[in-house]
Amino acid sequence: MPFRDGHRPVLELSRPVQEPRAAVLLLHGGREFGTAAPPAWNLPGVRLRLFERAIRRSTSRDAVLMARVRYRVRGWNGERADAARDAQRALDELELLTGGAPTVLVGHSMGARAALRAAGSPLVRGVVGLAPWCPAGEPVAHLRGRRVVLLHGDQDRTTDPRSSQDFAARARAAGAEAATVLMRGGDHAMLRRAAAWHDLTGQAVAGLLGITDLPPVIAERFTPSG
């Protein structure tokens, strides 16, 4: 059903919770350009659902609502930044459901870029970006006070792992806690050593929500010496 402003919901619940203490919002990848609506069943969405299972396991002992963003179109589309607009819209819808519960965003590729753009929302406690698309000049000032974890395969040929390192450095300079972890042998689809990707993502989300401690490989990168 559309809202009063005529927009259709972009939030899809995957684990509803009656009284959520926290929330996780997942954003799958897409394309640089594309104005067609994404199909109901698409490979980027399927890939991220495997991560969703790991996050479910890592947060199972707490009341954590999980949801996905349903993009209106498949592409980022330059200055339109459609995926980022959808991410913000989803956060607005999520706030109505949770009453402002702390939220972690988990995005892959274009979805990670959208998550990072939307992370200035008061709801957002942290972001986990998977093989993120971080072009030079992406804004970082709004990330002050946020915790950002970027996981990037060192064999990624679609998005450059060095761009994640550069983005994290700029985010730290802007007042964020930001860490980049290079996944040895990892590719953009995150199929090589998939279990390691899934496990570390689940642990990172639980740590950012305060359910467990952050895994050492991330926590040590949040320290000044890291």
Provide the pLDDT for residue 17.
Answer: 87
Measured distance CA(127)–CA(25) in Å, rounded: 10
Could you tell me if 128 and 204 are in contact, meaning their C-beta atoms sit under 8 angstroms apart?
A: yes
Q: What is the pTM of this model?
A: 0.94
Cα(170)–Cα(33) distance, integer angstroms: 26
Alpha helices per DSSP H over the chain:
43-58, 82-98, 110-118, 161-173, 194-208, 216-222
Per-residue tens of pLDDT for the chain, all 226 residues? 334 444 678 999 988 888 999 999 999 999 999 999 988 788 888 899 999 999 999 999 999 999 999 999 999 999 999 999 999 999 999 999 999 999 999 999 999 999 999 999 999 999 999 999 999 999 999 999 999 999 999 999 999 999 999 999 999 999 999 999 999 999 999 999 999 999 999 999 999 999 999 999 999 998 654 4
Nearest CA among 99, 66, 89, 65 for reference residue 8: 89
- Quickly list H helices, 74-142: 82-98, 110-118
